[in-house]
Every structure is written in C-alpha cells, then in structure tokens.
Amino acid sequence: MAFAYLQDALNARRREGLLRQRKIIGSSVGAMIEIDGQHYLSFSGNDYLGQRQDLAVMQAWVEGISSYGVGSGASPLVTGHTDAHQQLEDFLATGLNREAALLFNSGFAANQAVCQALSHPNLCILADKLMHASFMEAGKLCDAKFKRFRHNDVNHLTNLLKTNPSSDLSSSATDKLIVSEGIFSMDGDLGCLNELQNVAQQHDAWLMVDDAHGMGVLGKTGLGSVEQFNLSQQQVPILMGTFGKGIGTSGAFVAGSQILIDYLVNFAKHYVYSTAMPPAMALATHASFQSLADGSKQQALTQRIAQFRLLCQQKGIPLTDSSTAIQPIIIGDPVTCLRISEDLKQLGLWVTAIRYPTVPKGTDRLRITLSASHKNSDIEAFVDGLEIVLRRYQVLLNE
C-alpha cells in the first residue's frame, strides 16, 4: 500500500508513549481554560504576562480592524506593508538600539529565513545544542557548515572555533555565526550572552540571539535580553524576537543593521513570498509593548515565580535551576510523565507532558509555565496538587 509508513510511524509513536494529539480549547479567561466542558487552571501556556487579554491590546486590535480590515491583503513587497507595520518596526529598532527591524509571521519563519538567506558554503553556523527546532532544522538544511556546541558551554564553543588541525571547524569558513537563546524554552535557563558575545568578538564572528521567550519578560521596559544585559548591535548583530509569548499577540521580528535588514528584504524567501501579518496585529503588538513599559506585570510574574519555587522547596518538589516563568520538573520516562499529567487534570490542573523528540531522550518532563495572570491562591493550589500527585510516583525529593 502506498505511503504505508505513515500509519507505521504513528503506531510506533503510540507504542512508545510519544504520540502527539491536540486538545480543543473551548474558552480561555485569565489562567482558566475550558476543554471538553471541563475547566482547568492552566500552567502550560506561554502568555507569561497575560497580555493577550489586556484591554489596551484588544482595543488596539479592534481599532486596527476598523482601519485596515482583518488581513493585510498582500505580501509586504506588493501592497501588504502598511504604516502600522512600519511604526512597529521603527519602535522596535529605536527601543532595541538597532538600525532597523523586519516583521515576520512567526519565529519559526524568522529563524528559517535568517539561515536560508545568510547561507553560503563558507559560512559556519555554531548553535547551542538546545536551540529551538526551528533553527536546528534550518541550520542542518541550509548550504553552510553546521556545528553544535554543548549547552551554554563557552569552552566547547571556543574549541570548535579554533582553526588548527585538530579542530572540528574547517579553516575555510570565512564567516562564522554563533547562535543562542535569551531564555531556553524547555529548561527556562538563560543563555550566557555576555560570554558568547566576548567569544564572538575574539573570533570575528557574529552572534545571533533567539529571544522568543525573553521578549516582554526581560528588560526594564520588556524589550528582552539585549535590554536586560545592555547588549549593543555590534555585540549582537542579529536579534530575533517573537510576539506570541510574553507580548501576547503573534508574529516575530529580526533586528540589526540596515544592511542586514535590506538584505533580508531582498533575499529572505520567507519574507518575500508570505502575506504580511494583519496590520491590526501590528497595532496590537505595539500597544502591548507600550502597556508593559512600566514593568508592573513583570514584577507580578517575578513574585509568582518566587512564590512557586519557595513552596516547591518546602514540599520537596524537585525543580531545575530556572529563575524564569518556565519551571520544568524532569520525570525521565514518557509514559510516567503522561500519567502524572493526566492525574493532575483530575484535580483541575492542566500541565502538558513534554516528551522526546521535543526534549532529549530521558528528560521527559512537566513543562510548568507561570503567568502574571495567576493569583497567589492559584499557585498555592497548584503546588498542593503537585505534591499529591508526585507522591504517588515517588518523585518528591524527601521520599
């Protein structure tokens, strides 16, 4: 039978406890979600600051629809680039101290576009081993040498960059691109950006930062990792950020020099041949950044993180070293991880089990995400539920 491998692959995933299936969300208000008529406290989203339901953001979206309609109607280089898009790009460039910025429909598309457009045989890309799949796939498929360095391991990266006979990196590489993340999506730890930019400067390389999970939550005004650590355009020549997480809307951007952005406008196929994001989305995104500028929601999130970690410590719940909204609990076995997730749902708590191949084998986990939308009582109830369920599976540190 033609394409029989499709069913075979699905059957194999099911046997291994790795089959992915979607859930239909009936409604979502604050930290509550409804699925199949049941309501749950959700600890699985990426809306870290509750911005997707912020009144100012929603009002900007409505006003954008009134002015532009629900879509852009064309690709950016035809008639899809409006003053709403340009205003957002200008805001990002100014706030991030970059010469220019360029909007994309998703972070996946932005990462793929950068790899595809910059690729040439004498380029070597050196990416942190835990980079997002969107970049890993693009790096492996593009016409460049692709190397991975151990997670946040500057020494390993430096060894790869050395051009000597024992090196892993060919001396024929005339251009080098080091790539890391601001906040890593599955572990919640920070990229060692200051150390990486020093290595990049020493080896005449460019540093690219994927700040998908840092945008909105890091920085004095929510402009992410480069604002948090005061990293200039020279130190981070390529910055990618997304709007679908801390900003609460959708889409992404790349920021850098005017030459970089002009080059992408001309050679990035994911930009040239895609319909532009809706102008209303651009207006809502701009409004979201503006509403985060006082830092109050970021402070609320910081308080929730501290509360969660303290309560978990008191109850012996094992956490990683993360200080961000992403708080994984490593279970290690996909079937057990799924069972724990299902048991939590019976208590009205929604936490997604993340399994291989999204994370390395043996590191299957509960990927807990906290939000400014959570109340103190939500955190307390959640940790109580975690203790009850994890005790059944002997996951607590004191058992």
CATH code for the domain of 98 = 3.40.640.10
Nearest-angstrom CA–CA distance, 348 and 329: 19
Asked if 156 and 201 touch (Cβ cutoff 8 Å), the reply is no
- pLDDT above 90 for 163: no
Strands 326-330 and 365-369: antiparallel
pLDDT of residue 173: 67
Structure letter (DSSP) for residue 119: -
- 62-88: pLDDT as tens digits: 999 999 999 999 999 999 999 999 999
Which of 308, 355, 364 minimizes the C-alpha distance to 14?
Answer: 355
Q: Residue 7 falls within a domain, yes or no?
A: no
Q: Are residues 97 and 242 in the same domain?
A: yes
Nearest-angstrom CA–CA distance, 129 and 131: 6
pLDDT of residue 378: 97
When pLDDT is cut at 50, 70 and 90, the band that residue 165 belongs to is: very low
Q: Residue 288 falls within a domain, yes or no?
A: yes
pLDDT of residue 139: 83
Q: Are residues 129 and 270 in the same domain?
A: yes
pLDDT of residue 327: 97
Q: Residue 15 falls within a domain, yes or no?
A: no
| Domain stops at, among 236, 267, 292 | 292
Q: Alpha helices of the chain — where are they, by DSSP H?
A: 5-15, 55-68, 83-95, 107-118, 133-141, 154-161, 193-202, 225-228, 258-267, 269-272, 279-292, 296-315, 334-346, 376-392
Q: Are residues 124 and 227 in the same domain?
A: yes
| Domain stops at, among 260, 292, 324 | 292
- Name 25's bridge partners: 35
Q: Are residues 316 and 273 in the same domain?
A: no
Edge-first strand order for the sheet with 206-210 is 100-104, 252-256, 238-242, 206-210, 175-181, 123-128, 145-149
Q: Are residues 154 and 38 in the same domain?
A: no
3-state secondary structure 144-168: CEEEEECCCCHHHHHHHHCCCCCCC
Asked if 48 and 327 touch (Cβ cutoff 8 Å), the reply is no
Q: pLDDT exceeding 90 applies to what percent of the chain?
A: 89
Q: Are residues 32 and 76 in the same domain?
A: no
Higher pLDDT among residues 306 and 398, named by residue: 306
| Cis bond before residue 121 (omega within 30° of 0) | no
Q: Are residues 316 and 263 in the same domain?
A: no
Q: Residue 124 falls within a domain, yes or no?
A: yes
Strands 100-104 and 123-128: unpaired
Q: Residue 6 falls within a domain, yes or no?
A: no
| Domain stops at, among 258, 292, 326 | 292
Nearest-angstrom CA–CA distance, 41 and 62: 28
Q: What is the mean pLDDT of residues 138-147?
A: 87
What counts of helices (H) and strands (E) characterise the chain?
Answer: 14, 14
Asked if 149 and 181 touch (Cβ cutoff 8 Å), the reply is no
Which of 372, 321, 331 minimizes the C-alpha distance to 352?
Answer: 331
Catalytic machinery residues: 46, 132, 181, 185, 210, 213, 245
Predicted TM-score (pTM) of this structure? 0.94
Structure letter (DSSP) for residue 352: P
Q: How far is CA 260 from the centre of its chain?
A: 22
- pLDDT above 70 for 170: no
Q: What is the mean pLDDT of residues 344-349?
A: 97
Asked if 44 and 350 touch (Cβ cutoff 8 Å), the reply is yes
Tokens of 265: 């406008």
Nearest-angstrom CA–CA distance, 397 and 7: 40
Q: Residue 96 falls within a domain, yes or no?
A: yes
Q: Are residues 129 and 225 in the same domain?
A: yes
Q: Residue 16 falls within a domain, yes or no?
A: no
- 185-216: pLDDT as tens digits: 999 999 999 999 999 999 999 999 999 999 99
pLDDT of residue 164: 45
Asked if 351 and 41 touch (Cβ cutoff 8 Å), the reply is no
Nearest-angstrom CA–CA distance, 182 and 193: 7
**Residue 44 belongs to a domain with what CATH number?**
3.90.1150.10
When pLDDT is cut at 50, 70 and 90, the band that residue 398 belongs to is: low
Nearest-angstrom CA–CA distance, 202 and 155: 13
Which of 327, 290, 131 minimizes the C-alpha distance to 216?
Answer: 290
Q: pLDDT exceeding 70 applies to what percent of the chain?
A: 96
- pLDDT above 80 for 97: yes
- 268-278: pLDDT as tens digits: 999 999 999 99
Torsional sign, CA 103, 285, 43, 316: positive
Q: How far is CA 311 from the centre of its chain?
A: 26
pLDDT of residue 395: 79
Q: Are residues 242 and 313 in the same domain?
A: no
Tokens of 53: 């339901």
Domain membership of residue 306 as a residue range: 24-53+295-392
Q: Residue 125 falls within a domain, yes or no?
A: yes
Average model confidence (pLDDT) for the chain? 94
Q: Are residues 246 and 328 in the same domain?
A: no
Q: Are residues 49 and 84 in the same domain?
A: no
- 35-45: pLDDT as tens digits: 999 999 999 99
When pLDDT is cut at 50, 70 and 90, the band that residue 220 belongs to is: very high
pLDDT of residue 137: 87
- C-alpha gyration radius of the chain: 22
Q: Are residues 276 and 305 in the same domain?
A: no
- pLDDT above 90 for 142: no
- pLDDT above 80 for 168: no
Nearest-angstrom CA–CA distance, 326 and 181: 14
How many domains is the chain partitioned into structurally? 2
**Length reported for the chain:** 399
Tokens of 208: 């690219």
Q: What is the mean pLDDT of residues 299-305?
A: 97
- pLDDT above 70 for 218: yes
Which of 114, 91, 63, 95 minimizes the C-alpha distance to 278?
Answer: 63
